[in-house]
């Protein structure tokens, strides 16, 4: 009986010890991920400020690293190179954070797709434009300016535009599948209308140059897209 008790005690001790080590490893891994995420966020914040203040060509990785308070090697490890850093800035600007969840899988997109009223869908689309485009447009416009002189950035700029076009093509197809488009409007035409009103160039013209408010910009997108794509109510 005493031997059984001793064996039971040893088993419980070893089990508790193994469980404790497992918890420690999980906690350590979670803490390291949180630290890595915080480091990435500091680098992205520093890079965005540098790129938009000094320009892409004039910005160096050592400057970004110094601004972020990290080593140059840390920046290269996280983003590979300067174009990779610019692409990450664009991705974060589109979704609003650095989580590895694409925009198409976000709850905000699901809410638009699940909304039964087409006019409300367009209103939600316009509201998303008013949130996303002010963040993303400066990065897209910067890439466009650099593209003519830098083949690698030119390829990245084409990728940015293609990703945006593909997303809007999906929304146009969704509107068509729901029977929401006017009879004469094709999916391709709807895609191009959405592409135009979602463009960084339109935002730059109306908000940056003509000093429209974000509210006026959002309402312009809503009314223009409804008029261009949906049948009269």
Domain ranges of the chain: 82-233
Q: Is the alpha carbon torsion for 222, 227, 228, 233 positive or negative?
A: positive
Q: Over the stretch 132-151, which tens digit does the pLDDT of each residue have?
A: 999 999 999 999 999 999 99
For the chain, give the secondary structure using H, E and C.
Answer: CHHHHHHHHHHHHHHHHHHHHHHHHHHHHHHHHHHHHHHHHHHHHHHHHHHHHHCCCCCCHHHHHHHHCCCHHHHHHHHCCHHHHHHHHHHHHHHCCCCCCCHHHCHHHHHHHHCCCHHHHHHHHHHHHHHHHHHHHHHHHHHHHHHCCCHHHHHHHHHHHHHHHHHHHHHHHHHHHCCCCCCCCCHHHHHHHHHHHCCHHHHHHHHHHCCCCHHHHHHHHHHHHHHHHCCCC
pLDDT of residue 144: 97
Give the model's pLDDT for residue 77: 96
pLDDT confidence of residue 16: 60
**CATH entry, 82-233, from 1.10.760, 1.10.10, 1.20.120, 1.10.357:** 1.10.357
Instruction: Read off the pTM.
Output: 0.83
Is the pLDDT score of 23 beyond 90? no
Q: Is the predicted pLDDT of residue 72 greater than 60, yes or no?
A: yes
Ranges 38-52, 61-75, 95-109, 119-133: which has the least confidence: 95-109
Read off the pLDDT band of 10 (50, 70, 90): low
Q: What average pLDDT does the structure give for the chain?
A: 91
Q: Which two tokens stand for residue 98?
A: 């650095």
What pLDDT was estimated at residue 12?
Answer: 61
pLDDT in the model for residue 31: 81
Burial 216-230 (b: 16+ CB within 10 A, else e): ebbebbbebbbebbb
Q: How far apart are CA 202 and CA 218, in angstroms?
A: 12
């Amino acid at each position: 009986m005493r031997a059984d008790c001793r064996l039971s005690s040893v088993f419980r001790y070893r089990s508790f010890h193994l469980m404790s080590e497992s918890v420690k490893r999980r906690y350590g891994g979670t803490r390291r991920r949180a630290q890595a995420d915080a480091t990435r966020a500091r680098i992205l914040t520093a890079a965005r400020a540098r790129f938009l203040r000094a320009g892409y060509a004039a910005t160096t990785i050592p400057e970004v690293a110094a601004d972020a308070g990290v080593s140059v090697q840390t920046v290269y490890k996280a983003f590979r190179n300067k174009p990779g850093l610019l692409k990450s800035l664009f991705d974060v600007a589109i979704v609003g954070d650095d989580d590895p969840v694409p925009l198409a899988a976000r709850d905000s997109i699901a809410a638009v797709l699940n909304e039964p009223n087409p006019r409300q869908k367009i209103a939600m689309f316009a509201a998303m434009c008013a949130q996303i485009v002010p963040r993303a447009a400066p990065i897209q416009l910067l890439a466009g300016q650099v593209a003519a002189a830098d083949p690698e950035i030119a390829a990245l700029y084409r990728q940015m535009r293609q990703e945006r076009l593909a997303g809007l093509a999906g929304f146009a197809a969704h509107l068509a599948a729901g029977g929401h488009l006017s009879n004469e409007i094709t999916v391709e035409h709807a895609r191009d209308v959405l592409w135009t009103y979602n463009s960084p160039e339109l935002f730059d013209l109306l908000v940056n140059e003509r000093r429209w408010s974000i509210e006026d910009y959002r309402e312009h997108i809503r009314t223009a897209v409804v008029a261009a794509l949906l049948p009269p109510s």
